[in-house]
Chains A and B, each alone.
Chain A
Amino acid sequence: MNRNRILFGIGVLAFVSVIVTVRLGGFLVDNEYRQPDRQVAAQEEQGETELTPRQQGIVDEQAADEAEARARPYEEAEYRTVPFVGSRVTVWVLAQLHLLFAAFVLAVPLFAFIIEFVGYVKKEERYNKLAYEFTKLLSVSFSMTATFGAFLTFGLIILYPKFTNYLMHIFSPTFLPYVLLFFLEALFLYSYYYGWGKFGPKMHLFLGFMLNIVGTAIMFIANAWLTFMMSPGRRDDVDGDGVPDFVSAVSESGALLSLRDAFFNFTWMPINIHRIIANVAFGGSIAAAYAAFRYLQAKTDEEKAHFDWMGYVGNFVAIIAFLPLPFAGYYLAAEIYAFSQTLGIQMMGGTFSWLFVIQAALIGNLFLGANYYLWLGMGRMEGGVHFQKFIKWLLIAIALCFAVWATPRYAISSVSEIAAMGGSSHPQLSYLGQMSAKNTAVNILILSTYMSFLLYRRTGRQSVHPHRQLLTRAQAIVFSSAAALVIFYGVYGYYVDAAIRIRFAIPQVYSVLAALVVITVIDLPLYRNAAQSGETKWGRMPAVSQYALIFIALSFTWLMGLMGYVRSGLRQEWHVYGVILDTSPDAYTPTLGFATQVVSVTVLIFFGLLGVVFWLSSLGGKKDWEPKAVADGGDRLEGGQAA
C-alpha cells in the first residue's frame, strides 16, 4: 500500500514537472522578445501613428539590434562557459558520474556471471539467488550510466565544441560500432535480467557471458578516446633496435595519420587492464555497500543472514580484485613514464606527487577496513576467539606498511626542520619514501590481508586432513619465505643501482602471487569437509561491520575519483598531449585542494544517486524467492524511510 502511494506520488510529480518544464521553456523563449516596455511600444505603434520620442527610441533600438543580429557573421565557438562552476568542473563532474555508474554496470555482470556459474557448477540455489540480487542493481544503474553519458556528450559538444569536433575527426569511425554495441548491451542486459529463471541455465549463462563481452568491448572503445588524449601514438619498435619507439598517430598540426595508431595507443592497454580490475573491485564494494544497507534495514534473521552473506561476497570480490590493482597501477604508471619523461615526472615527482600521499591514505584505509571487516567476521563463528590473538600482529604489520606507504619522499616541513634535516628529506625516513620501501609495503599489505582471510576461513573449523599438520606448516613456510623474499628485495634495493632496483619489483610481485596460489592450493584440500567446531552464523555481525563495508565502498569511490583526476590532469594544459592545446580559461591545473573538493562533491552526488538506486532495487522482484513476510517487512521500513 505504501509503495502504491509512493508510485502515485512519483506519477503526480512527473506530471507536474513536465508541465512546469514546458511552461518555463515557453516563458524563456517568449521573454526574449517581450520585455514589458517593448511590448507597450509595439502595441501603441499599431494604434497610433505618432510616437513619443522615447517610444521612437525603443523602436529604433530594437531595429538596430535586429539589424546587428542579421549582420553578425556566423562564428564557430571554440569554448563556451557555464556560469559559476565553469566548463571544466561541469564536464569533470559529469564524466566522473558517468564513469562511476559505468564502472558499476560493467563490473556487476562480471561477478554476477561468475557467481551464477559457481552456483550452476555447485548446484546450489543460493548462489543463483545472490547473482540475481546483484543483477537487480543493474537496470537502474544502466539507465543512470546512459543518462550521464548523454549529459557528458552534450556537455562536451556544448562547452568544448572545437575540441569535441577534433575528437570526432579522429574517432568518427568508432562511433557507430560503439552505439551498436551499446544497443547490444541493452539487449543482453535486459534479457539477462528479465530472463532469469525463464531461460535454461546454459542459455542464461550465455547471455551473461555475452553481456560481459559486449560491455568490455564498449569500455575498450571508450578507453581509446581518452587514452588518445594522453598519448596520441602507438608504441612500436620501428627501427628494429630493440628499443620501442613512439609512432605518432597524428601529424604536428593534429591531422590524423593512422586511426590504428590512435586507437591502439601507448596507454590504451594499461588503462584497459587497470580499469577492468578496478571496476570489479569497485563493483564488489558497491554491491557490498548495498548489502550492508539492506542488512542494517533488515528485521528478520533470514534477511540478515542473506545480506550478511551478500556483503561478505561483495567485499570478498572487491578485495580479491583489489590485491592486483597496485601492480596494474604500476604498469600504467610505468607506461606513462616510458611514453614521456615529462608526464612521468609530472606524475610522480611533480605537481601530483602529493596526490599520491593522499592515495596512500585511501589505500591504507581500504586495507585496514577490509581486514577489520574480516576480523569482525570471525565473530560469526563459534570459537572465533582462537585466532583473535593473531590480529594484533597483523594489525602491526598493516599499520607499519600503511605508514611506510604514506611517508612522503619530501616532507612538508618548516624552515627550521629543513635546516635540521639539511634538506627536505629526513636522513632516515627518506628511505621509506622511496619506491623500494613502498613496493615492499604494498606486497606485505597484500600478504597480511590474505593472512586475515585465511584466519577467517579457518575460524571455527577443524581440518580433518590426514597430513594437516604438515600442510599447515608448509603454508607457514611458503608464507614466511614470500614475506622474507619481499623484504629482502626491498632492503637489497638500496644497495644496488636504480636500473637493477626497478627490476626487483617483479620478483617481489611474483613471490607474493606464487605464495597466494600455493597457499590456496594447499588450503583447499586442507579444509575440505572440515569439521565445524561451531556453526557459522550469518547475520551475527555487529552493525559496525556493515558501516565498515560502506566506508570501504566510499573510499573506493573517492579513490576512483581521485585517480580519474590525476589521469586526466596529468596532461595539464593540453587537450591532446603535445598536439591540441587547451586555450580556455580553465587550462590551468587547479590545486589539489580544489580537485579534492570536486571529487568529494562528485562522490556525494554519486552516493545520493546510489541511495535512489538501492531504494529502487529493493522495491521490486522480491516475491520470487523471499517469503511474503520478509518482503512486507522490508517494504514497511523502506517506505518509512522514504517518507
Chain B
Amino acid sequence: MWGLNLPIVLALAAIGGVLVWRRAHTLVWLLYSLGALWAFFKFGFVVPIPQSVATIYLAITGLALVAYASSSRERLAETVQPIKRLILEPRYRLALAGLLVALPALAAYNAYADLTMPLEAPGFGREIHPAPPPEITVHDETVNMTTGDNPYLHYKADDPELYGKHLENGRRVYYENCFWCHGDGMGGDGMFAHGLNPVPSNFNDVGTLPALQSSFVHWRIAKGGPGLPGPGTPWDSAMPAWEKFLTTEEMWDVNLFIYDFNGFEPRALGQH
C-alpha cells in the first residue's frame, strides 16, 4: 500500500503502541523516535529511498529531538536523568561498561558495512531540465524560448477539425519514432528505456510536461541530447536531435500530441 513495506511499518507502530501503553520515559521515546524513523526510511519503503534523502530526514529529526528535550528546564532534567544515573550510580556500572563497549562496536560495524558495500559505478548529478538558450533555430526558423508557442495550439479553439488532424499526425510521429523509449503509455518506460541512462522522460508525470512551456519541449525535441547544455550531460542522452529526421510541423504536432494524450496544458507564456 502506497509503496510502503507494511510489515515493517506496522511493527514500528506496534512498538510505539507498547511505549504508549507502558508510559515510556522521555528518553526512551527520543531513542525510539530516532531509531524507528531510521528503520522506516531504510526498510519502510518498497522502493528504498536514497541515502541522501534519508540523511536529511534523520538530521532534521535529530535536531527536532534535541530541541524537544531542551525545550524546558524540567524536560531537560528529566531527559538526562537516566543518563546521569547510569553514569553516576555504582549499581549500573556493568550496564555502563556494556554501553561503552556496545556503541563503539556499533560504530565499527557501521564502518565495516560501509567499506564492504558492493562497488558501484560513480553516479553524477545531472540537471533533468536544464535552462534552455534564449532562442533556438530549427530549420532556419528562430523560436524564442520565452515567447515562442506551438503554432497549432490555437486550432484547439479555432478549428477543432484541423486540430484533430495535427493531433493525428503527432500520433503517427510518436508511434513511429518515440515510443521505443518514452513508452506506449508515455510513462518513460518504452522497451529500450531499461538500457538507457538517463532514463527517458516520463510524460505522465505532473511535474514534467505541465511545468514546461511548449517552446521548451520543442527545443528538447528539435535539438535532442546533443543540444543539451553541459549540466544536462549531453553525452549520455539518447534523445535524437529530431530536426535531422522530422519536419518542423511534425515536431510541433508530436509536441501537441504528447500534451493532449496526457491531458496536460503547456505552461502558458508568462505564467507564474
Contacts and interface: CB of A to CB of B under 8 A. Distances in A.
Given A375-B71, A423-B202, A498 B50 contact: no
A385 B53 contact: no
A414 B210 contact: no
A271 interface: no
A421 interface: yes
A484 to B, nearest CB: 21
Contacts of A208: none
A417 interface: yes
A376 B130 contact: no
A415 B121 CA distance: 7
A428 B47 contact: yes
A349 B134 contact: no
Nearest to B263: A497
A412 B272 contact: no
Interface in A323-380: 334-335, 337-346, 349-351, 353-354, 357, 361, 364-365, 368, 371-372, 375-376, 378-379
User: Interface extent on A, as a size class?
Assistant: 35 or more
**Interface residue range, chain B:** 35 or more
Nearest to A340: B146
B51 A417 contact: yes
A642 interface: no
A395 interface: yes
Dominant secondary structure of chain A at its interface with chain B: helix
A243 B67 contact: no
A345 B129 contact: yes
A640 to B, nearest CB: 29
B2 interface: yes
Contacts, number: 187
Interface stretch (A256-264, A281-289, A402-410, A602-610): A402-410
B150 to A, nearest CB: 14
Contacts of A354: 125
A361 to B, nearest CB: 8
B108 interface: no
A411 B52 contact: yes
Interface string A205-243: 000000000000000000000000000000000000001
Interface string B99-143: 000000000000000000000111101111111111000000000
A350 B131 contact: yes
A259 B73 CA distance: 60
Nearest to B75: A388
Nearest to B132: A342
A387 B63 CA distance: 21
Contacts of B199: 418, 422-423
A91 B235 CA distance: 36
A98 B199 CA distance: 46
Interface in B180-200: 188-189, 197-199
Contact of A376 (B53, B72, B265): B72
Contact of B51 (A343, A378, A413): A413
**Interface majority SS (helix, strand, loop, mixed), chain B:** loop
Nearest to A494: B206
A361 B62 CA distance: 13
A499 B215 contact: no
B272 A502 contact: yes
A434 B50 contact: no
Contact of A345 (B75, B121, B131, B269): B131
Given A497-B265, A499-B265, A426 B131 contact: no
Given A334-B272, A368-B67, A341 B123 contact: no
A544 interface: yes
B231 to A, nearest CB: 6
Contacts of B121: 415
A49 to B, nearest CB: 68
B267 A498 contact: yes
B45 interface: yes
A578 interface: yes
A592 to B, nearest CB: 11
B145 A342 contact: yes
B228 to A, nearest CB: 12
Contacts of A371: 67
B51 A243 contact: no
B169 interface: no
Contacts of B57: 403, 406
B53 A411 contact: yes
A385 B132 contact: no
A86 interface: no
A357 to B, nearest CB: 8
A350 B212 CA distance: 13
Q: Which residue, B2, B71, B72, B121, has most C-beta atoms of chain A within 10 A?
A: B71
A326 B155 CA distance: 39
User: Which A-B residue pairs are the 8 nearest by beta carbons?
Assistant: A498-B210, A334-B272, A413-B50, A346-B131, A399-B64, A412-B52, A411-B50, A345-B131
Given A415-B122, A422-B47, 19 more contacts: A243-B269, A244-B270, A340-B134, A341-B146, A341-B215, A342-B133, A342-B134, A349-B129, A349-B130, A351-B131, A365-B63, A384-B72, A395-B64, A407-B53, A414-B123, A423-B199, A433-B207, A497-B265, A499-B271
Interface of A: 243-244, 246, 334-335, 337-346, 349-351, 353-354, 357, 361, 364-365, 368, 371-372, 375-376, 378-379, 384-385, 388, 391-392, 395-396, 398-399, 402-403, 406-418, 420-424, 426-430, 433-434, 494, 497-499, 501-502, 542, 544, 578
21 contacts: A341-B213, A342-B134, A343-B131, A350-B130, A350-B131, A351-B131, A364-B60, A365-B63, A379-B72, A379-B73, A399-B63, A403-B57, A408-B53, A409-B207, A414-B120, A426-B45, A427-B3, A428-B3, A428-B47, A433-B207, A502-B271
Interface of B: 2-4, 45, 47-53, 56-57, 60-61, 63-64, 67-68, 70-75, 120-123, 125-134, 145-146, 188-189, 197-199, 202, 206-207, 210-211, 213, 215-216, 231, 263-265, 267-272
